[in-house]
Structures are given as C-alpha cells and as structure tokens.
C-alpha cells in the first residue's frame, strides 16, 4: 500500500483539529474584505478632485495599503486551509481506493 493507516489518521486528525481555525480564517477574510471597502470609501471621501484623482489618492494612501495587506493575509490563510483540506481528502480517497483494490484481490485470490 502506498497510503499508510498513519497517513489517513493524520489526515482525519488535521480535518477535525482545523475546523475552528478554518472557520476563524474565513471570518477574518470576510472582515478584511469589508474593512478594505470601508477604508477605500473613507479615504475617497476625504479627498477632493475628480473621481479618478480621489480614487488614486485613496488607493495610494498608507491606510489603504495596510487594509490591502490585511486582506491578502486573510486570503492566504483561507487558501492554505482549503489546500490542506483538499490534500487530506486526497489522502483519504487514495487510501479508500487502495483498500477496495486490496479487498478485491483477496476475493479473487
């Protein structure tokens, strides 16, 4: 077998242990998305000029750049959890396939 029982157990353990952390990451992403939009709107309203000038000033403001960084970190964490979960599921699926194939060979042999 290519996938060991220990690998499958680790995959299950990861999925159970990370439920709260993944949910928190998703909530932080939602907060960061909202904060980014709100920060952009506040900065836009603080400046004068054409719409394009106001948008440019808002987008270049250090507070806006901080909000973008917060959103990027939140996006990264959510993506990390999604990829790790997909990996865990792939390990479990491979184990199930190998187990089924092994049982099939036992019946034939």
- Is residue 88 domain-resident? yes
pTM across the whole model: 0.78
Residue 18 lies in a domain: no
- Domain assignment present for 86: yes
Tokens of 22: 């993944």
Domain count, the chain: 1
Give the model's pLDDT for residue 109.
57
58: in domain: yes
Confidence (pLDDT) at 25: 96
How do residues 32-79 score in pLDDT, each as one tens digit? 999 999 999 999 999 999 999 999 999 999 999 999 999 999 999 999
The reply to whether 64 falls in a domain is yes
Residue 40: inside a domain: yes
Domain residue limits at 37: 26-97
Assigned domain for 4 exists: no
Is the pLDDT at 15 greater than 70, yes or no? yes
**pLDDT for 75-92, tens place per residue?**
999 999 999 999 999 999
75 is a domain residue: yes
- Is residue 1 within 8 A of residue 102, CB to CB? The reply is yes
Record the tokens describing residue 76, joined without a space: 């990264």
């Amino acid at each position: 077998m290519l996938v060991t029982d220990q690998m499958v157990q680790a995959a299950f353990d990861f999925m159970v242990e990370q439920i709260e952390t993944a949910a928190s990451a998703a909530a932080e992403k939602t907060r960061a998305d909202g904060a980014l939009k709100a920060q952009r709107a506040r900065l836009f309203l603080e400046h004068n000029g054409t719409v394009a000038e106001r948008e440019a000033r808002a987008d270049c403001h250090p507070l806006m750049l901080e909000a973008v960084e917060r959103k990027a970190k939140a996006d990264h964490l959510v993506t990390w959890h999604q990829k790790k979960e997909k990996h865990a599921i792939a390990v479990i699926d491979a184990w199930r396939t190998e187990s089924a194939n092994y049982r099939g060979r036992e019946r034939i042999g």
